[in-house]
Amino acid sequence: MRSAAVRAVRYTRTGGPEVLEVAEVPVPQPGEGEVAIDVSHAGIHFADVMFRRGQFPLPLPAVPGLEVAGTVAGLGPGVTGLRVGQPVVALPTGFGGNAERVIAGVTTTVPLEGELAGLDPLLAAGAACNAATAVGTLRGAARIGTGDRVLVLGASGGLGLLLGRLARAYGAALVVGAASTVQRAARAADAGYDQVLVYGELADRTSELTDGQGFDVIVDSVGGEPREQVRGLLAVLGRHVVIGNAADRDITLDANQVWYDSFTLAGYNLGGVLARRPDLLRAQLEEGLRLVADGTLPLDVEEIGWDGVAEAHRRLENRTASGKYVLRVR
């Protein structure tokens, strides 16, 4: 007889990494258009940290986890094109990926077959969110074009390391990264960037690097002071794409400034796209995974056990993480 419970990482109150615990939770069941997945690997994402801290409320108790790899364990009503036992990578419905069993929508459950047949589940789970976000940010929100000059804030983070390489693959003529310290800038040196600067250097170096034109695209996951620092660094008709707020401090932007200075302010949020256009997110996820599988987007992954999740959160929170943490579930 199958157990009525599965192991999961959960928290019953918001707070620091110490609120995380390994516990048994009820086995989730797939509904209409949903897939049950036996999880082998689950990515640990900075968004998990933000939800755990209470920046965005979730019903408690909550199980973190935005991305998983595993095998199909069951199909809800109306699901076609998948079969029990099939290897997949998925973006779960309502989080919950740090568990032995999770539920995902059929649209955001991608079989590891065809071009993806050789993709290691460890890499698939570690890449899913960031690869999809990188594609959606650059192709979708930024409308990146051949010859564009691109600046990426937060270049040393897991997403920043992918954005540098992907901007290069999409034909950018100049790809500059920026980070908060010299040490963090050094981490991104081999990630496709022409140069990686400290935030304080941007004002003095932008004119030289862009022949006085400014950047066509600025990708900003950081917020706070760096977001203020880059306001005047866009080219005419440049695109400032906001994809996060790691500093947890927003700034006020006068809408008149957008048309005075002839620039575009855009954004990308994987969760928002998932809620309204899961078909679009599916295409972005598939493209991102293909780029990981063919080596265009190499990934530095550290596999951890159940007892390492809290420490992974701690390192993500204090920005000492290098690479991507992936929980080995089974």
Give, for all 330 residues of the chain, the pLDDT tens digit. 456 899 999 999 999 999 999 999 999 999 999 999 999 999 999 899 999 999 888 899 999 999 999 999 999 999 999 999 999 999 998 889 999 999 999 999 999 999 999 999 999 999 999 999 999 999 999 999 999 999 999 998 889 999 999 999 999 999 999 998 898 888 888 888 999 999 999 999 999 999 999 999 999 988 778 888 888 899 999 999 999 877 777 778 788 888 988 999 999 999 999 999 999 999 999 999 999 999 999 998 999 999 999 999 999 988 787 678 999 999
Residue owning tokens 């005419």:
236
**pLDDT at site 250:** 76
CA–CA dist 180, 141 (Å, integer): 24
CA–CA dist 326, 321 (Å, integer): 12
**pLDDT at site 294:** 95
Sorted by where each begins, the domain ranges of the chain are 5-130+276-328, 142-268
CA–CA dist 163, 160 (Å, integer): 5
Query: pTM for this structure?
Result: 0.93
**pLDDT at site 256:** 86
**CA atoms within a 13 Å half-sphere pointing along the CA-CB vector of 71:** 5
Helices (H), the chain: 46-53, 121-135, 158-169, 182-187, 202-209, 224-229, 255-260, 270-276, 278-293, 309-317
Task: Name the CATH superfamily, with its identifier, for domain 5-130+276-328.
Answer: Medium-chain alcohol dehydrogenases, catalytic domain (3.90.180.10)
Q: Is 258 helix (H, G, I), strand (E, B) or coil?
A: helix
CA–CA dist 291, 3 (Å, integer): 38
Q: How many CB atoms lie within 10 A of CB 107?
A: 18
CATH number of 142-268: 3.40.50.720
